């Protein structure tokens, strides 16, 4: 196992990026499922869907853990790339968050209507914008950091900068000295 | 507990840093006086002044370069003499953020989006404080909810036993119709169990020629001929092995589709058994240092031992009380070891 500190630094960045960015949106409660369907290969406009799946879908899933998200990928080189949104009438069970007496059969939320989004030849931002517009989702943005943390971060940044400055100064002096020595040697020889 | 070591380290480092930090501040007002006094007064006073703030002996003026060289050489000698480490390295992670189970699961589900819920597995790694060349933990466990359910089991039984077997998770159940199918060459299972009351009948069919080469032939010696097949099935499906490698025990603890409750029960049972395993090794000191939950395609999360976080949004806003309390609840098996 790597040391906890190195693991943590890497993890913190990862988690921040899964909470924020394009795709971080909270869907309304009447959406039960989001289904993607596109190809494995990125030929013929299937690159955008793949990017959407890799970048935006984890964020969407993080902010909507109750929503099912299925991905179907085909071996074909051509064909449609669609995103299907399933709406339901059955509301979520009220005590799903307390999670104490939920051992019984899982509730199947039947779809009452669906909306398709064509993902062919489009960028992930573009797809996401249409998704937000069609579902009237609310975009999520992280609350700003508290003042003390901000100050500390600033202080650390300045400190690091100064350290680097010192280091570079020494390096420069070293290089100059080497150059001078070489010149001297060349002249003497 | 395992963290006792790490806490000691922190205690050792702390006072020295605070002392070092305070020295320049204390010296500053007197420095001018010192500079004035230095040429006239003897070196004794300066010695006292410096020794008040540092434990290292003050160096006499002029001999600095020589002494430094000596120190360097002595340091080199020390490093050469250093013994090889006997234990696997452990770290102090007391002050680093930890995650409640549901929180970690939410992140993991987000990272695993679009993957097969049965194929992707939750994966538990338990870091252990242990010697490098001592005995290692190795055991088999029956989790409350089995992880590897891909094993397809065939049961030869009829009547009530057949029903019970089917409920327990057998794929193919029956007697004569199944044997005929096998004779035709339809074999879509990996294990065979036979009920003892049907066994004689089964032996007459002469299916040993078909099943024998595949290693499927049931026999009382291997424990696949039993009076109650249903009881064995769950043990066959659910058993998973684990062993210690490089000071870490890793095990697949659940499928991605498991609910938090199911996963919690699995983790609890596993940790209990692991604690017993560690306690069984008597001559060597083995302690649990850290418990980390990951999955097939996601980063790993150090677990705090809580089930749920209440009223906490940010991962860096963790309070020490919460962590300690959580450790106390989870550490019940650990405490038994230490």
CB B163 within 8 A of CB B118: no
**Is A24 an 8 Å CB contact of chain B?**
no
The answer to whether residues A114 and A87 belong to one domain is yes
Q: What is the pLDDT of residues A42-58, one digit of tens each?
A: 888 899 999 999 999 99
Number of domains in chain A: 2
Buried b (16+ CB within 10 A) or exposed e, B194-216: bbeebeeebeeeebeebbeeeeb
What average pLDDT does this structure show over A80-87?
89
Residue B125 touches chain A, beta carbons under 8 Å: yes
The whole-angstrom separation of Cα B236 and Cα A76 is 40
Q: Looking at the predicted structure, is the pLDDT value of residue A181 above 50?
A: yes
Chain B residues closer than 8 Å to A5 by CB: 91, 96
Please say if the pLDDT value at position B80 is more than 90: no
Q: Is the pLDDT of residue B309 over 50?
A: yes
Domain locations along chain B: 3-81, 101-130+247-337, 153-236
CATH topology of domain B101-130+247-337: Ribulose 1,5 Bisphosphate Carboxylase/Oxygenase (3.30.190)
Q: Could you give phi then psi for residue B250, rounded to 5 degrees?
A: -120, 145
Which residues have a Cβ under 8 Å from the Cβ of B108 and sit 6 or more positions away? B122, B256, B293, B294, B295, B298, B301
Pair A29, A92 in one domain: yes
The pLDDT value given to residue B82: 72
Residues facing A38 on adjacent strands: A73
Selected residue with higher pLDDT from B220 and A143: A143
Give this prediction's pTM. 0.61
Place B90 in a pLDDT band, splitting at 50, 70 and 90: confident
The confidence score (pLDDT) of residue B135 equals: 82
Residue with tokens 């003497």: A188
Higher pLDDT, A99 or B181: B181
> Distance (Å) from the C-alpha of residue B113 to the closest C-alpha of chain A?
6
Put simply, whether B114 touches A (Cβ < 8 Å) is: yes
Residue A132: give its domain's CATH number: 3.40.30.10
Looking at the fold, whether A152 and A117 belong to one and the same domain comes out as no
CA–CA separation, B334 and B274 (whole Å): 9
Q: Which long-range contacts does B334-338 make (Cβ < 8 Å, 24+ apart)?
A: B334/B1, B334/B2, B334/B275, B334/B287, B334/B288, B335/B1, B336/B275, B336/B279, B337/B275, B337/B278, B337/B279, B337/B286, B337/B287, B337/B288, B338/B1, B338/B2, B338/B4, B338/B287
Residue A92 lies in a domain: yes
**Chain-wide mean pLDDT for chain B?**
69
Confidence of residue B57 (pLDDT cuts 50, 70, 90): low
Same domain, yes or no, for A133 and A182? no
**Residue A113 lies inside a defined structural domain of this protein:** yes
When scoring A2, A4, A17, A63 by the number of chain B Cβ atoms within 10 A, the one with the most, hence best to mutate, is A4
Least confident of A79-88, B209-218, B287-296: B209-218
CATH 3.30.565.10 fits B153-236, yes or no: no
> Which residue among A5, A15, A69 sits closest to B107, beta carbon to beta carbon?
A15
Task: Tell me how far apart the alpha carbons of residues A91 and A88 are, in angstroms, rounded to a whole number.
Answer: 8
**B321, two tokens:** 């009380």
In a shared domain, residues A82 and A170 = no
Nearest to B127 among A1, A12, A99 (CB): A1
Q: Are A89 and A68 found together in one domain?
A: yes
Any residues with CB less than 8 A from the CB of B286 and at least 6 apart, and which?
A: B128, B129, B130, B134, B137, B278, B337
Q: Are residues A120 and A48 in the same domain?
A: yes
Which of A4, A15, A58 is the closest to B113 by Cβ? A58
Those residues with Cβ within 8 angstroms of residue B34's Cβ, 6 or more apart along the chain or in another chain = B27, B46, B49
Q: What pLDDT is recorded for position B133? A: 84
Which residues share a beta bridge with A114?
A: A86
Q: Which of B91, B110, B114 lies closest to A53 in CB terms?
A: B114
- Is A2 a member of any domain? no
Pick the residue from chain B with its C-alpha nearest to A69: B114
- Residue A34's alpha-carbon distances to A26, A61, A69, B331, in angstroms, are 13, 10, 5, 40
Tell me if B114 and A4 make a contact (CB, 8 A cut-off): no
Residues in A closer than 8 angstroms to B113, CB to CB, are 57-58, 60-61, 69, 71
Is A29 contained in some domain? yes
Residues A111 and A166 in one domain: no
Contact A99 B259 (CB under 8 A): yes
| Segments forming the whole domain that contains residue A56 | 17-96+107-139
- Give yes or no: residues A60 and A122 share one domain: yes
Confidence of residue B197 (pLDDT cuts 50, 70, 90): confident
Cα distances (Å, whole numbers) of residue B274 to A107, A162, B145, B266, B337? 35, 49, 17, 12, 10
Q: Residue A94: what pLDDT?
A: 56
- Measure the CA–CA gap between A4 and B299, rounded to whole angstroms: 13
Q: Does residue A169 surpass a pLDDT of 90?
A: yes
What was the pLDDT predicted at A170? 95
| Owner of token pair 């879908």 | A57
pLDDT level of residue A163 (50, 70, 90 thresholds): very high
Rounded CA separation B304/B97 (Å): 8
Q: Do A61 and B109 touch (CB under 8 A)?
A: yes
Cα distance between residue B29 and residue B246, in whole Å: 54
Alpha carbons B40 and A189: distance in angstroms, whole number: 52
Segment B263-267 shows an average pLDDT of 88
Cβ-based contacts under 8 A for chains A and B: 61
Q: Are B154 and B175 in contact (CB under 8 A)?
A: no
| CB-CB neighbors (< 8 A) of B259 in chain A | 99, 102
Supply the pLDDT for residue A30.
87
In a domain, A54, yes or no: yes
pLDDT at residue number A8: 84
Strands across the sheet containing A82-88: A68-74, A31-39, A82-88, A111-118
* Residue of B97, B107, B256 to mutate, interface with A, max A Cβ within 10 Å: B107
Q: Look at B125 and A1 and tell me if their CB atoms are within 8 Å.
A: yes
Nearest to A18 among B107, B127, B290 (CB): B107
Interface confidence, given as ipTM, is 0.76
Rg (CA), chain A: 26
Report how far apart the first and last C-alpha atoms of chain B are (Å, whole number): 6
Check whether B310 has a pLDDT greater than 50: yes
Across the interface, of A5, A18, A36, the residue whose CB is closest to B111 is: A18
More confident: B316 or A176: A176
Whether B264 and B101 have beta carbons less than 8 Å apart is answered as yes
- The residue among B91, B104, B113, B125 with the most chain A CBs within 10 A of its CB, best to mutate, is B113
- Comparing CB atoms, the residue among A36, A53, A62 nearest residue B107 is A62
Q: Are residues A56 and A29 in the same domain?
A: yes
pLDDT of residue A1: 65
The residue-averaged pLDDT of B174-192 equals 72
Residue B59 above 60 pLDDT?
no
Chain A contact present for B145, CB below 8 A: no
Using a CB–CB cutoff of 8 Å, tell me whether A70 touches chain B. Answer: yes
Residue A125 belongs to a domain: yes
Per-residue pLDDT, B319: 39
Task: For residue A61, list chain B residues with Cβ-Cβ distance below 8 A.
Answer: 109-110, 113
Q: Is B311 on the interface with A (CB under 8 A)?
A: no
Question: Cβ contacts (< 8 Å) between B110 and chain A: which residues?
Answer: 18, 58-59, 61-62, 65
| pLDDT interval class at A171 (50, 70, 90) | very high
Same domain, A160 and A85: no
pLDDT higher for B255 or B152? B255
Do A112 and A71 fall into the same domain? yes
pLDDT for B227-263, tens place per residue? 777 777 766 766 777 888 888 899 888 888 888 888 8
């Amino acid at each position: 196992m790597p040391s906890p500190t190195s693991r943590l630094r890497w993890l913190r960045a990862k988690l921040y990026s899964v909470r924020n960015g394009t795709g971080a949106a909270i869907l309304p409660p009447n959406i039960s499922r989001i289904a993607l369907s596109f190809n494995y290969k990125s030929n013929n406009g299937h690159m955008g869907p793949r990017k959407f799946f890799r970048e935006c879908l984890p964020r969407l899933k993080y902010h909507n853990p109750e929503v099912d998200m299925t991905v179907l990928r085909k071996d074909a080189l051509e064909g449609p790339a669609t995103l299907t949104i399933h709406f339901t009438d059955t509301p979520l069970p009220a005590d799903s968050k307390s999670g104490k007496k939920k051992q019984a059969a899982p509730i199947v939320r039947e779809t009452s209507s669906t909306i398709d989004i064509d993902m062919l030849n489009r960028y992930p931002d573009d797809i996401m914008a249409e998704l937000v517009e069609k579902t009237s989702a609310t975009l999520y943005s992280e609350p700003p950091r508290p003042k003390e943390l901000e100050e500390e971060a600033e202080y650390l940044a300045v400190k690091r900068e100064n350290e680097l400055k010192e280091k570079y100064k020494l390096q420069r002096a070293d290089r100059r000295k080497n150059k001078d020595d070489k010149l001297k040697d060349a002249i003497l020889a | 507990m395992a963290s006792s070591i790490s806490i000691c380290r922190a205690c050792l480092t702390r006072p020295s840093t605070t002392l070092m930090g305070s020295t320049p501040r204390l010296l500053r007002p007197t420095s001018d006086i010192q500079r004035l006094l230095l040429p006239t007064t003897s070196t004794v006073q300066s010695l006292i002044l410096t020794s008040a703030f540092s434990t290292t002996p003050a160096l006499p003026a002029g001999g600095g370069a020589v002494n430094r060289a000596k120190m360097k050489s002595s340091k080199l000698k020390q490093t050469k003499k250093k013994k090889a480490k006997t234990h696997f390295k452990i770290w102090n992670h007391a002050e680093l953020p930890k995650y409640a189970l549901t929180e970690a699961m939410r992140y993991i589900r987000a990272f695993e989006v679009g993957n097969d819920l049965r194929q992707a597995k939750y994966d538990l790694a338990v870091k252990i404080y242990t010697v490098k060349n001592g005995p290692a933990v190795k055991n088999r466990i029956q989790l409350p909810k089995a992880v590897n359910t891909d094993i397809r089991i065939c049961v030869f039984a009829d009547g009530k036993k057949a029903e019970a077997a089917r409920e327990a998770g057998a794929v193919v159940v029956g007697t004569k119709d199944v044997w005929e199918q096998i004779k035709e060459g339809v074999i879509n299972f990996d294990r065979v169990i036979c009920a003892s009351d049907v066994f004689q009948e089964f032996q007459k069919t002469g299916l040993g020629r078909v099943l024998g080469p595949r290693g499927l032939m049931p026999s009382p010696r291997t424990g696949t001929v039993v009076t109650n097949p249903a009881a064995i099935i769950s043990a066959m499906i659910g058993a998973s092995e684990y062993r210690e490698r490089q000071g870490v025990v890793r095990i697949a603890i659940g499928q991605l589709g498991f609910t938090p409750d199911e996963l919690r029960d699995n983790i609890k049972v596993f940790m209990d058994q692991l604690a017993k395993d560690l306690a069984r090794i008597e001559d060597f000191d083995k302690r649990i240092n850290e418990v980390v939950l990951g999955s097939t395609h996601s980063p790993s999360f150090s677990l705090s031992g809580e089930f749920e976080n209440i009223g906490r949004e940010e991962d860096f806003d963790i309070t020490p009380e919460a962590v300690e309390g959580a450790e106390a609840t989870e550490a019940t098996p650990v405490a038994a070891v230490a």
